[in-house]
Structure 1
């Protein structure tokens, strides 16, 4: 029963919206690296991977982050080792899109483009929701054609 409960919890967690974090990692040579995604795991005092000569690197922070956007920047998940703890924030204006292919996309909504032209509107959020409604309608029409109309044509053979 415990195993079934654990599997059920992990299954529910996979489909429940998760918090999106913005990580800022300091680089040893200066500068910063930023990653946006869902925190899946964070381990402190993790044994550092050995270097090329087999020397142990001490202990580091290990982060497992779901970064999504696999069509632009595969893979979906990143393992990051850092000697110092990352700065972690939760920006309020982050958008998570569940796409029909290529998984989730994380980022900021900056506008819409159509035929390589930027679309302008008084209320960009309303325009986005209108376009998402149009996409849903087109998907329903495509499903209707595929399931009903094509099936009817195939049965006439």
Structure 2
């Protein structure tokens, strides 16, 4: 069987060029979204602490895994660049067991909580708190920060700069 020839005046790699053009568009959108989010986080918080997260387990296919890695990598890079620009330090926290440890006493649970369970109850100290807020407090403790003001954002006014 004879191979099909491309129409006259058009190269054979038109599909690859269109795919590359779409890929560049998605990459630009990803970068723009990441920069907007990073700017908001850095302006609203004096000391951001985030998980040093790799989404390997979230994606079922290699293509989806690469897309998730690219999005999270772009967001992390934008956050670090924006924090440096605004004079802030970003604390990257190891994500292991952040949702399983108690922020009050530091005790860990023996089993992973299902995602449907939204409150965290510590068996050691009896503290009850929303799962996400408890995880945020654990990350701040691991960063060496005092999590007393986790509930809100920075008070009104410019941030206080400490002399080095």
Structure with bigger strand share is 1
TM-score range, shorter chain: under 0.3
- Structure of greater relative contact order (alpha carbons < 8 Å, 6+ residues apart): 2
Please report the TM-score for the alignment, with normalisation by the length of structure 2.
0.25
